[in-house]
Amino acid sequence: MEFASRAAEFRPSPVRAVFETAMDPSVVSLAGGNPDLSVLPGGDIGALASSLLAERGGEILQYGSGAGTTPLRDLVVQLMSRGGSDITSADVLPTTGSQAGLDLVTKLYCNPGDVILAEGPTYVGALGVFGAYEVDVRHVEVDEHGLDPQRVATALEQLAAEGKRVPFVYVIPSFQNPTGVTMPAERRRELVRVCAKRDVMIVEDDPYPLLSFDRSGPLPSMHGMDPEHVIHLGSFSKIFAPGLRVGWLVAPPEVRGRLQIAAESVVIHPSNLAQSLVTSWVGSEQWEPALDRAVEFYRERWQAMKAALEEFMPEHASWTEPTGGFFTWVTVPGLADKDDLLRDAIEQGVVLVPGSACYSDGRSSDAVRLAFSGVSPVRIREGVKRFAQIL
Amino acid sequence: MEFASRAAEFRPSPVRAVFETAMDPSVVSLAGGNPDLSVLPGGDIGALASSLLAERGGEILQYGSGAGTTPLRDLVVQLMSRGGSDITSADVLPTTGSQAGLDLVTKLYCNPGDVILAEGPTYVGALGVFGAYEVDVRHVEVDEHGLDPQRVATALEQLAAEGKRVPFVYVIPSFQNPTGVTMPAERRRELVRVCAKRDVMIVEDDPYPLLSFDRSGPLPSMHGMDPEHVIHLGSFSKIFAPGLRVGWLVAPPEVRGRLQIAAESVVIHPSNLAQSLVTSWVGSEQWEPALDRAVEFYRERWQAMKAALEEFMPEHASWTEPTGGFFTWVTVPGLADKDDLLRDAIEQGVVLVPGSACYSDGRSSDAVRLAFSGVSPVRIREGVKRFAQIL
């Protein structure tokens, strides 16, 4: 039996494709955006899981509500208030990781042939989601302050002139994946105005806002500025543990209700154990100090990567200067001419994400995404050195 | 912004819609197919989780492989061998519950307007999955031995004559949801022949095969009979714990590879903690004795329900006689004339699944699905009594 037409658009993520290679200890992985988990006390977290199951096992192991657990939703209300969102637990839908939330939003809004505006470059995983719904992605190039709302307005006008339906703009405002750049508050406000005026939703994918190197609070979220026109995707993967697969979305009431129905038809409900463990840990007094330590690692690692880039990169190379998060975007003129950058890199013992993977059309790119979050400073220096050797 | 056209087909599951009502202790829930978890030692399972996190927390809490963990896949290989499937761990894809597997298979195979053949009646949750992909469902009525392959052959011929594309037949062969009936081995073999001949896949949704009241081993699975034409969906929800959301699928290699890419684009990978805990419990010596005790409960509860049906149902009512699993299908001529059966039932303090919910066209039905798996014999009697009062 033939597959459906959409199957032609299923694309393996290049990060996932090198997942096994990246586990090889002889290889330096600058590919995956892995959080540092050495700050997590496995024994304490195990003890939390143990007491949850001993005390409420009958409830946690049984079917749960498609709306998610109330304690987790209450916790998200608190977290979202840091970015200026004034919501109640009824506005929150826990998801099996935030990418599952993006899948649901795309499923709800996008017909085949619709256009999504996204940053250029954007998160490779999002391109996989959009492809599966046969959506066209148009990129608006970012600068050092992220997406420029005026460029978005121009793109939306052009797409309207082409008769294209644009259900939403997909944007990662804080420490963007893959460039590490952050949209200032004023740009966020202007983007909200631009999109609301045209009845285009904003999907704000925001897994990194608490990871500012200087430990300043998050910038105001676009959701907080205009909750009727913004769907917010959040994640516990970068502030606790990706292996549990817990994220959330916040959306206007009717939209949230539809998304819950769509979610229930796929997973019935999010894992109770994962939700409970996240609630216990992130709700504990140990969470924020551990996060502080992790962010201190990220800051040191970025410093190590910056030093290595300055030491090993050719003179004409350039890179973004993230103030938080996991990534920098390194541009080396001429890199696009390489036949198979990733193969060459793996041969040198380093993995990374080629820039072309971050564009829906797979255009050639002079850039790569380097992740510094999950690797020690010594290994970062070695990885950048190996990367320099293929240039 | 308007929703996509598929959103018109998003339907809340009637089981999920009454989930909160069913939690009310004054209401007897014969609606949800909840396993009995009183047989699970919460302290022991908590201790397993604790030691997993203490010993391998860095791995379990980190990103994992989209292919799932090897120990869980090895465990599935053993379980599948009981039904006669000769596979390796590479053939198995763990999923976030088996319904997520059905979602992936539908996403891979079905264009809008395609037709899926399903049992009449069928699992309500599957109808939610199919609706989200704008697929038409045609039902083939079951008898006391489940789906009749000759009727399937006739339906496939008719659909071919109509020019319809039929990617797969969806079938729940053991202790079917909602009727409780089981397809004998010979019917399974014949259905495999009928479908293979026409290059139509079989999606074998099989969460209950180990729940035979007499503790006989499972019947041969259709997957074991023809692994090239059958995609098998399995679940740990009924033999361990639904709250963890762990299922699996087994498919031919190229199909499994495509399904993994589709799965990664939604959830990146299945929860490591859930996979590890399932592997530890189901791989332990405690698992099978606990399952034996649970099935003994199901057997007793079915006896209690049968006795209550005999005591309270009107003379013209009839019901299926399950030999395992969670459900019976009760037909009361004239029931279809009721305006709002579920509302009347809730007013009497009992919830159940109206038969009409188990058909894609919502046709009126003289039947209801009654679940006996998660309720004590005393409450079952009370629930059936309350149901009888609305007749």
Residue in the block written with tokens 């489940």:
B146
A252 touches B3 (CB < 8 A)? no
Residues of A in contact with B63 (CB under 8 A): 19, 32, 34, 237, 242-243
Flag the least confident range among A228-242, B249-263, B299-313, B332-346: B332-346
- Torsion angle, alpha carbons of B116, B121, B125, B130, to 10: 20
List the single residue in B4, B45, B271 with the smallest CB-CB distance to A271. Answer: B271
Residues of A in contact with B11 (CB under 8 A): 261, 265
Q: What pLDDT is attached to residue B270?
A: 97
Do residue B261 and residue A10 have CB atoms under 8 angstroms apart? yes
| The pair of three-digit structure tokens given for residue B353, joined into one six-digit string | 């699944």
Q: What pLDDT is attached to residue B23?
A: 79
B145 pLDDT above the threshold of 80: yes
Q: What pLDDT is attached to residue A71?
A: 98
Distance CA A254, CA A261 (A): 11
| Cα angle, residue A77 at apex, residues A75 and A82 outer, rounded to 5° | 105
Distance CA A348, CA A175 (A): 28
Three-state secondary structure readout of chain B: CCCCHHHHHCCCCHHHHCHHHHHCCCCEECCCCCCCCCCCCHHHHHHHHHHHHHHHHHHHCCCCCCCCCHHHHHHHHHHHHCCCCCCCHHHEEEECCHHHHHHHHHHHHCCCCCEEEEEECCCHHHHHHHHHCCCEEEEEECECCECCHHHHHHHHHHHHHCCCCCCEEEECCCCCCCCCCCCCHHHHHHHHHHHHHCCCEEEEECCCCCCECCCCCCCCCHHHHCCCCEEEEEECCCCCCHHHCCEEEECCHHHHHHHHHHHHHHHCCCCHHHHHHHHHHHCCCCHHHHHHHHHHHHHHHHHHHHHHHHHHCCCCCEECCCCECCEEEEECCCHHHCCCHHHHHHHHCEECEEHHHHCCCCCCCCEEEEECCCCCHHHHHHHHHHHHHCC
> Checking phi first, is residue B362 left (phi over 0); if not, alpha (psi -120 to 50) or beta?
left
Chain B: residue nearest A273 by CA? B244
What residue type is B139 in one-letter code? H
Residue A162 C-alpha, separation from nearest chain B C-alpha, in angstroms: 18
| Cα angle, residue A101 at apex, residues A99 and A103 outer, rounded to 5° | 75
Distance CA B246, CA B238 (A): 10
List the single residue in A110, A243, A269 with the smallest CB-CB distance to B64. Answer: A243
B57 pLDDT above the threshold of 90: yes
A311 touches A104 (CB < 8 A)? no
Average pLDDT for A61-90: 97
Q: What pLDDT is attached to residue A338?
A: 87
B268 pLDDT above the threshold of 80: yes
B219 pLDDT above the threshold of 90: yes
Q: Predicted confidence band at A19 (pLDDT cuts at 50, 70, 90)?
A: confident
**Parallel, antiparallel, or unpaired: how do β-strands B230-235 and B168-171 relate?**
unpaired
Do residue B10 and residue A268 have CB atoms under 8 angstroms apart? no
Distance CA B58, CA B116 (A): 43
Q: Predicted confidence band at B24 (pLDDT cuts at 50, 70, 90)?
A: confident
Residues of B in contact with A93 (CB under 8 A): none
| Cα angle, residue B173 at apex, residues B168 and B177 outer, rounded to 5° | 95
Residues of A in contact with B249 (CB under 8 A): none
In chain B, the largest separation of any two C-alpha atoms, in whole Å, equals: 62
Question: Crossing angle of helices B341-348/B377-389, nearest 10°?
Answer: 120
Chain B: residue nearest A52 by CA? B46
Average pLDDT for B244-265: 97
pLDDT digits (tens, 9 = 90+) for B304-325: 999 999 999 999 999 999 999 9
Other Cβ atoms within 10 Å of A158 Cβ, number: 11
Average pLDDT for A278-289: 98
Do residue B200 and residue A266 have CB atoms under 8 angstroms apart? no
Q: Predicted confidence band at A193 (pLDDT cuts at 50, 70, 90)?
A: very high
**Parallel, antiparallel, or unpaired: how do β-strands A201-205 and A230-235 relate?**
parallel
Average pLDDT for A239-243: 98
What is the SS3 assignment for A298? Answer: helix
A165 pLDDT above the threshold of 90: yes
Q: What pLDDT is attached to residue A29?
A: 94
Residues of chain A with CATH 3.90.1150.10: 5-40+288-389
Q: Predicted confidence band at A130 (pLDDT cuts at 50, 70, 90)?
A: very high
Cross-strand partners of A234: A248
A126 pLDDT above the threshold of 90: yes
pLDDT digits (tens, 9 = 90+) for A242-254: 999 999 999 999 9
Domain covering B64-282 assigned CATH 3.40.50.620 in the classification: no
Residue A115 C-alpha, separation from nearest chain B C-alpha, in angstroms: 12
A70 pLDDT above the threshold of 90: yes
Residues of A in contact with B263 (CB under 8 A): none
Distance CA A35, CA A238 (A): 6
Average pLDDT for B172-181: 98
Residue B116 C-alpha, separation from nearest chain A C-alpha, in angstroms: 13
B18 pLDDT above the threshold of 80: no
List the single residue in A237, A266, A277 with the smallest CB-CB distance to B100. Answer: A266
Do residue B132 and residue A107 have CB atoms under 8 angstroms apart? yes
Residue A186 C-alpha, separation from nearest chain B C-alpha, in angstroms: 24
Do residue B61 and residue A243 have CB atoms under 8 angstroms apart? yes
Residues of A in contact with B32 (CB under 8 A): 63
Average pLDDT for A277-283: 98
A187 pLDDT above the threshold of 80: yes
Q: Which of A44, A82, A103 lies closest to A224, judged by CA?
A: A82
Residues of chain B with CATH 3.40.640.10: 64-282
The size of the A-B interface in CB pairs under 8 A is: 269
- Percent over 90 (pLDDT), chain B: 93
Do residue B32 and residue A63 have CB atoms under 8 angstroms apart? yes
Do residue B99 and residue A61 have CB atoms under 8 angstroms apart? no
DSSP state of A253: H
B17 pLDDT above the threshold of 80: no
A260 pLDDT above the threshold of 90: yes
Preceding omega of B12 cis (within 30 degrees of 0)? no
Pick the CATH number of A5-40+288-389 from 3.90.1150.10, 3.40.50.1370, 3.10.20.30, 3.40.50.150: 3.90.1150.10
- Percent over 70 (pLDDT), chain A: 100
Average pLDDT for B345-374: 95
B74 pLDDT above the threshold of 90: yes
Do residue B50 and residue A55 have CB atoms under 8 angstroms apart? no
Q: In sequence order, which ranges of chain A are alpha helices (DSSP H)?
A: 14-17, 19-23, 42-60, 70-81, 98-109, 124-132, 149-161, 185-197, 222-225, 253-267, 272-282, 287-312, 341-348, 377-389
Q: How many CA atoms lie within 13 A of B325 on its CB side?
A: 28
Average pLDDT, chain A: 96
B170 backbone dihedrals φ, ψ, rounded to 5°: -100, 125
Do residue A132 and residue B96 have CB atoms under 8 angstroms apart? no
CATH class of the A63-282 domain in this structure: alpha beta
- Beta-carbon contacts of residue B185 (< 8 Å; ≥ 6 apart): B219, B220
Do residue A50 and residue B52 have CB atoms under 8 angstroms apart? no
Residues of chain A with CATH 3.40.640.10: 63-282
B289 pLDDT above the threshold of 80: yes
B143 pLDDT above the threshold of 80: yes
Residue A178 C-alpha, separation from nearest chain B C-alpha, in angstroms: 17
What residue type is B84 in one-letter code? G
A11, A23, A63: best to mutate for the B interface, most B CBs within 10 A: A63
Q: What pLDDT is attached to residue A17?
A: 73
A312 touches A302 (CB < 8 A)? no
B25 pLDDT above the threshold of 90: no
Residue B304 C-alpha, separation from nearest chain A C-alpha, in angstroms: 23
Higher pLDDT: A215 or A281? It is A281
